[in-house]
Amino acid sequence: MNNKGFTSIFLLLVLVIVFLGVALYYFGGGTNITTIGSFGPAGKISASPKPCIISPGSGNCTSYISWSTSRVRNACVYIRETGQLFGCGLSGLRQKADFIGESGFNFELRTNRAANFFSSKIVSVTLSTVLVKGQRF
């Protein structure tokens, strides 16, 4: 085979890989995913301390929420129980949550993406969740 043949095969292989990556990103299912293969969105959220300690005479304690993402265009953290927006950004470091009670809150790291490759409908995808509870001593 000559150079043109190898170049054509190489370009075809690259196109197939790109197509599969786009298909995995847009058609990847699930509402609570950490990653879709090595092509889709990924993220991690954590809290410290977990649990946080509720001081005597107080109803709440403080925890700090951190998150990071990859292969996303936007990301926000929501409080599942209230639907309230906690913060947005591709990453967040030690964002103060000073309202944690004994029942706690689930912090959800979400990104938005198209429902599928051919749709303009936007869906929210949960990348990661952390539950933070307060503990009395």
- For the stretch 46-86, pLDDT in tens is 999 999 999 999 999 999 999 999 999 899 999 999 999 99
- For the stretch 84-108, pLDDT in tens is 999 999 999 999 999 999 999 999 9
Q: Which fold has domain 3-136?
A: Immunoglobulin-like (2.60.40)
Does 24 have pLDDT greater than 50? no
Cα–Cα distance for residue pair 113/5, rounded to 1 Å = 38
Whether 54 contacts 101, CB under 8 Å: yes
**What are the boundaries of each domain within the chain?**
3-136
Rounded to the nearest 5 percent, the helix, strand and coil shares of the chain are: 20, 45, 35
Quote the pLDDT of residue 1: 57
Map tokens 């301390």 to a residue: 49
What would you report as the CA-atom Rg of the chain, rounded to the nearest whole angstrom? 21
